[in-house]
Structure 1
């Protein structure tokens, strides 16, 4: 079964006014277009293209993933997501305490985890992702003019094991933090390096926010087109600027840590964060014999295939479960075991799991989200 789907982009303030329309060849709305949701999440379920309802009406089971086109013109909030066990416990706790599901101070909207991957489709895509070793942080700080606040920060960074205490000191605005947040952008003025460019960007958008200093504790990455990140549970991150295809488990559980006017639940965030320093979490694709790039994380909820065909052959995509296909350029013909559908740029469809392996022909690009075999 192939079912055409569509949706209206979410108008979050950080969204670009032009990136999604230019990418998909659709008319701009005149306002910010931050995220186009293609899935069955109740927050913005995809609509059936024939106008007869939304995607949830044709599903037999819960769709475990959510496909998005994401366009950030300014930074998103610092955030992390829980493990399955943390999500189940937190959701049950807030349900039992009677916190309304739509309350602004609600942390757990559902009992599911929310790992996610992002593939850059703009020329560059900037992000913060995960803690870096203290030795690297100190090397960055050594490039800045000395000050009492920076000396205080250096003195607290006694090794990788000090990261939880330093993070807590910053996010709770402990003694000296306000002064440090104010002085860091001045010290970083004119200093080269992506991490200092990020400090200046955050200071311009979120003056006085501890996230300005926290950003120096984190990996700063500038993805090139086609590169991908995978952000598992506990990884603190923030998308800064760029256009990408994002795929995640179908959940809305977000623990925020700054760079936002929304609720920041510090105790809960500290419980879910993984403070272990790790390299930038690039996700390398598998490349199949027909040239399909498949981004396959370590969770069963989702995998993402990027398919490019040029009219000279066919590409095949295995389908272990339900799928959503989005054409982002040209025109393609997608065939399964029982049905088929033509897609042109900006069109999307839901594909039932009984279609098995997909064959894609034509000349264009299509992203296929499905479960992870």
Structure 2
């Protein structure tokens, strides 16, 4: 079964005014367009282009009508639920610092808030469902900028040294501000203590020590000494964040994180506990279908500091770049360590460019037309258009001059 689907981009304020429209080959709407959702998520299920033919108005309704056909083996694992959500994401401004829970944390947190009677749409609700929310982002623009995971300790020391050099060269040095952070970072749980202190003391209080540190770091980031240092990109990010969120403690937290630039086709995998923020760029994002987000600054939304500290993984890491593997000629697969999804990029009309389906799929065309054929049917989709594919199509063959992005589930393990 092939079903053409479409949706309206989400108009979050951080979105680009042009990038998603250009990807789709349509005129810009005049409003910010942040995310194009292609899935069955209740917040914005994709519309069925020909509802009379499909017998459903949207993808969620289509799946609910015959989950065994629509989901195949995934039906047994997930019930009547598409386990992934595909997005086109276009960030013109930084998103919030955030992290996502493990499956156990999600189940426990959701159960706790349900038992406490916290309304599902309450401002201070943390867990909207009992599912984890790992994410994969692949750069479509020439560069995609992000923060992801805590830096190695030696890099954090390097950032502090650059700030101390800038402070010493300033007309009125204030080394005490940097000492506030350095003394906390030197402890056995230095990252946890520092992040907790910044978020608890630095939000809503512009007269305390944390606020002083944020103000001082922001000023030093603009200095020649900082911008000539090896960490210039991180300091430019500080200035960008300060312009969007002046005084926010997330400005300082950003310096503790890996500053990542992805080239086109490069990817990040954001597993549970990874604190991250997208800064700018256009990407294909694939995630588990969940709304569980614990925020950590750079946002007017709810920040539950104790819960965030429980979810965060404070282990320093290298940037979690995920390299694709060649699954077949013209076919690259981005397969993270996640049970809910895998992503293929298909380019060219080679007969060998085939994908074997282990479950439902969504195909999105980039840059031109894409033809897709399976065991029982076929579909042609134009640039920026998408289609849902049921698993009984078994093996997909591709043609056309466009690139096909295929979101699906990996084969079941064991």
TM more than 0.5: yes
How far is 1:372 from its partner?
Answer: 1.5
Q: What per-residue deviation string (whole Å, max 9, x for no partner) do you get for residues 41-75 of structure 1?
A: 10111010124511012210210000000000001
1:53-202 → structure 2 map (5 Å cutoff): 53-59=57-63, 60=67, 61-144=80-163, 145-146=166-167, 147-158=175-186, 161-173=189-201, 176-189=209-222, 190=224, 191-192=226-227, 193-202=232-241
Q: Contact 1:185–1:200 (CA<8 Å) still a contact in 2?
A: yes
Q: What per-residue deviation string (whole Å, max 9, x for no partner) do you get for residues 216-249 of structure 1?
A: 1100101111100000000000000000000000
CA–CA distance in structure 2, aligned partners of residues 72 and 28 of structure 1: 15
Q: Contact 1:120–1:224 (CA<8 Å) still a contact in 2?
A: yes
CA–CA distance in structure 2, aligned partners of residues 80 and 187 of structure 1: 28
CA–CA distance in structure 1, aligned partners of residues 113 and 286 of structure 2: 27
1:7-46 → structure 2 map (5 Å cutoff): 7-46=7-46
How far is 1:159 from its partner?
Answer: 6.1
Q: Please give the secondary structure, in 1, of the residue aligned with 2:376.
A: coil
Q: Contact 2:47–2:59 (CA<8 Å) still a contact in 1?
A: yes
CA–CA distance in structure 2, aligned partners of residues 32 and 272 of structure 1: 31
Report which of the two has the higher share of helix.
Answer: 2
Q: Contact 1:134–1:157 (CA<8 Å) still a contact in 2?
A: no
Q: Please give the secondary structure, in 1, of the residue aligned with 2:252.
A: helix
Q: Compared with structure 1, are the counterparts of its residues 160 and 307 closer, same or farther at alpha carbon in structure 2 (3 Å cutoff)? A: farther
CA–CA distance in structure 2, aligned partners of residues 159 and 232 of structure 1: 26
Q: What per-residue deviation string (whole Å, max 9, x for no partner) do you get for residues 62-116 of structure 1?
A: 1000000000000101000001111111111111111111111111111100000
CA–CA distance in structure 2, aligned partners of residues 58 and 356 of structure 1: 19
Instruction: Tell me, yes or no, if structure 1 residue 235 matches structure 2 residue 263.
Output: no
How far is 1:27 from its partner?
Answer: 2.2
How far is 1:215 from its partner?
Answer: 0.3
Q: Contact 2:185–2:193 (CA<8 Å) still a contact in 1?
A: no
Runs of 5+ consecutive residues of structure 2 not aligned to the other structure: 68-79, 168-174, 203-207
Deviation larger for 42-51 or 278-287: 42-51
1:289-300 → structure 2 map (5 Å cutoff): 289-300=328-339
CA–CA distance in structure 2, aligned partners of residues 33 and 345 of structure 1: 17
CA–CA distance in structure 1, aligned partners of residues 150 and 328 of structure 2: 36
How far is 1:291 from its partner?
Answer: 2.1
Q: What per-residue deviation string (whole Å, max 9, x for no partner) do you get for residues 190-224 of structure 1?
A: 42311111111101110010000000110010111
- TM-score, structure 2 as length reference: 0.88
Instruction: Tell me, yes or no, if structure 1 residue 366 matches structure 2 residue 404.
Output: yes
CA–CA distance in structure 1, aligned partners of residues 50 and 375 of structure 2: 23
1:326-337 → structure 2 map (5 Å cutoff): 326-337=364-375
CA–CA distance in structure 2, aligned partners of residues 167 and 141 of structure 1: 15
Q: Compared with structure 1, are the counterparts of its residues 50 and 87 closer, same or farther at alpha carbon in structure 2 (3 Å cutoff)? A: same
Runs of 5+ consecutive residues of structure 1 not aligned to the other structure: none
Q: Provide the aligned C-alpha RMSD in A.
A: 1.3
Report which of the two has the higher share of strand.
Answer: 1
The total of aligned residue pairs comes to: 372
Deviation larger for 244-253 or 96-105: 96-105
